[in-house]
Amino acid sequence: MRNLDKYKGVIPAFYACYDDNGEISPERVRALTEYFVDKKVRGVYVNGSSGECIYQSVEDRKVVLENVMKVKGDLTIINHIACNNTKDGMELAAHAESLKVDAIAAIPPIYFKLPEYAIAQYWNDYSSAAPNTDFIIYNIPQLAGVALSRGLYAKMRENKNVIGVKNSSMPVFDIQGFVRDGGDDYIVFNGPDEQFVSGRVIGAKAGIGGTYGAMPELFLAMDECINSGDMKSANEIQYCVNDIIAALTSGYGNMYAMIKEVLRINEGLDIGSVRKPLVALTDADKEIAKSAAKMIADAKKKFL
């Protein structure tokens, strides 16, 4: 049986870090990595949705990963390598393996609706470019336009490098199906942050999420409560976190721009804004960010 302990726990999705001109900032990437090291999370998920990967070049994504790896400490590093063509993704997969990441991950190809055998080939081609690296399937049908079926998951488990699924579909029972099909040799990561407790209770052994970075202590506290069987406290924190997420998504600008402003307010961490076509914050949004930052600070005082 495989030892998957290094993946179990709270794994924040890593944010894109830009300089004042909107270009990747190696210094800010390293600063955000050090922030996560200090927060003692299990690891980080690099170059995914929260990292604005579809708006970045192959070289941008290499620079991000290279600078994460320079200061990662004991963090488990999962690097999302999917592109909308197989060639670029294979280049990123080989690059990730050369840096000795723990795992690579990929969404299915988007735009064209491909048959399952083509999606399997796409993922297996990526895995072949990093033959000594774990591979994680990223299921996010509401954005990718295609869902991971249990039949496709069974086909992918023929690849010895596949270790599990980052499941961001909204139905919690999807997690149950993937957990039952894979058994103890595979891991399922809960995706929807608003359902962290639900996903963990139904079988996910870890979580990867885009709002974790704004409040890692609260997700760590939820995880600890679940592990100790204190479900009352876990649910109370989840309800509070969901109110915070509602605030983070209530502005005119993009949620990740809101989170970055919250990090600047609460942590003194400046990692820039977001890349177009994502929308930056308005002046009114900055007031919402102040309110969300206070909600997080108050929750930490209450629950920690």
The answer to whether residue 291 scores a pLDDT higher than 90 is yes
The answer to whether residue 160 scores a pLDDT higher than 90 is yes
Catalytic residue of the set 7, 45, 122, 138: 138
Quick one: what percent of the chain has pLDDT higher than 90?
97
pLDDT at residue 1, rounded to an integer = 78
Catalytic residue of the set 62, 166, 205, 260: 166
Per-residue pLDDT averaged across 90-109, rounded? Answer: 98
How far apart CA 71 and CA 82 sit, in angstroms, is: 24
Per-residue pLDDT averaged across 239-253, rounded? Answer: 98
pLDDT at residue 250, rounded to an integer = 98
- Verify whether residue 138 is a known catalytic residue: yes
Q: Model pTM?
A: 0.97
What is the overall mean pLDDT for the chain? 97
How far apart CA 78 and CA 300 sit, in angstroms, is: 27
Which superfamily does 5-210 belong to? Aldolase class I (3.20.20.70)
pLDDT tens-digit readout, 64-81: 999 999 999 999 999 999
Residue 79 in tokens: 């690097």
pLDDT at residue 143, rounded to an integer = 87
Residue 208 marked ligand-binding: yes
- Calculate helix-pair angle for 255-267, 231-248, nearest 10 degrees: 110
Q: What angle do CA 39, 66, 24 make, to 5 degrees?
A: 85
The answer to whether residue 195 scores a pLDDT higher than 90 is yes
pLDDT at residue 116, rounded to an integer = 97
Enumerate the CATH 3.20.20.70 domain ranges in the chain, comma separated.
5-210
What single-letter amino acid sits at 259? I
The answer to whether residue 303 scores a pLDDT higher than 90 is yes
The answer to whether residue 275 scores a pLDDT higher than 90 is yes
pLDDT at residue 193, rounded to an integer = 98
